[in-house]
Amino acid sequence: MQPPANRLDHVVWVVHRENLVGYVERAIKLFHADFEHLYGPDVTGLGVESYISWETGLDFVSPTDTDSPLSASLQAHLDGRGEGIWGFVFGVADVHKAVAEAHDLGFTNGTVSTIDPEARRARARSWTRKVADLQQVWVGSLAGSEIYLSQIEYAEEP
């Protein structure tokens, strides 16, 4: 799979935890999609549980606590609006340039992580078999949806 550049990579739905698996099972059948259980309660510090289909661009997430900013944002969405589309991830060729351009346009959130590239790749490999490297930055909201800019390198197909 080619890395996304200047296009929507995936849509993120936020759902209540007790409904998460049911929605994923329905999406598997409806969209003929393969989902990975990307994060879960055993991944510390994230505060979310997620199932993502990299091929179809569908992602279902649920907050598991409200200790992390991401989890708190997801829970606030659920409390205020209920289940539904929370945001999207937009693929870019150069996340540093894209975030700088977003800042120039008034989107003041987000900085690109300075984590060592090899450590970042190892972290991606610990989460998923589909992605070799991932730099993802939340830059803010647009029309009621959260926006992430993401430079993704997909893993080679076996």
- 56 in any annotated domain: yes
Is the pLDDT at 5 greater than 90? The verdict is no
What are the pLDDT digits (tens) for 54-89? 889 999 999 988 778 888 889 999 999 999 999 999
Extract the tokens encoding 46: 């994230």
- 1 in any annotated domain: no
- Residue 155 has a pLDDT of 85
- 23 in any annotated domain: yes
Q: Which of the pair, 65 or 29, is modelled with greater confidence?
A: 29
Q: What is the pTM of this model?
A: 0.85
Secondary structure (H, E, C), the chain: CCCCCCEEEEEEEECCHHHHHHHHHHHHHHHCCCCEEEECCCCCCCCEEEEEECCCCEEEEEECCCCCHHHHHHHHHHHHHCCEEEEEEEECCCHHHHHHHHHHCCCCCCCCCCCCHHHHHHHHHHHCCCEEEEEEEEEEEECCEEEEEEEEEECCCC
Please, which residues have CB within 8 angstroms of residue 154's CB and are 6 or more apart in sequence?
Answer: 1, 2, 3, 54, 130, 131, 132
CB 59 within 8 Å of CB 53: yes
CB 100 within 8 Å of CB 132: no
Residues 12-16, mean pLDDT to the nearest whole number: 97
Which residues lie across from 91 on neighbouring strands?
A: 7, 150
Note down the domain range covering 34.
7-154
- Residue 112 has a pLDDT of 84
- 135 in any annotated domain: yes
d(CA 4, CA 1): 9
CATH of the domain at 31: 3.10.180.10
What are the pLDDT digits (tens) for 136-152? 898 999 999 999 999 98
In which band, very low, low, confident or very high, does the pLDDT at 111 lie, cut at 50, 70 and 90?
confident
- The number of folded domains in the chain is 1
- Residue 67 has a pLDDT of 79
